[in-house]
Amino acid sequence: MHKESLPVLLMPREVASALRVDLSTVYRWIDRGTLGAVQFGGARHTVRIPAAELVRLSAAPKPVRSHGETLASSPRGGLEDGAA
């Protein structure tokens, strides 16, 4: 397999930083299946998220709250409830 074809894997804290959410939110999304991840072994610190998952989550339509406010404009980033 060529190096160029290998997927880019991100650490949970990198995803949390990129999406501006708490690290516990990233783990919750992984546990719920909202965010795809690869686990290496049994410990949480060995979890990696394919960069394509970050792109998919970022591009997903955001649910709209009343008065036209999107969940993404909420202070915590909008995906805490598992909506994508």
CB 54 within 8 A of CB 60: no
In a domain, 80, yes or no: no
For residue 44, give Cα distances in angstroms to 28, 33, 54, 69: 12, 15, 18, 34
In a domain, 58, yes or no: yes
**What pLDDT score was predicted for residue 7?**
76
pLDDT tens for 21-48 read 999 999 999 999 999 999 887 765 689 9
In a domain, 81, yes or no: no
Residue 12, domain CATH: 1.10.10
In a domain, 44, yes or no: yes
In a domain, 22, yes or no: yes
Residue with the two structure tokens 């999406």? 19
- pLDDT higher than 50, residue 83: no
The model's pTM = 0.64
Q: Which helix (H) or strand (E) holds 26?
A: helix 23-32
Residue 50 structural domain: 3-73
58 vs 33 pLDDT, higher one: 33
Count: domains in the chain: 1
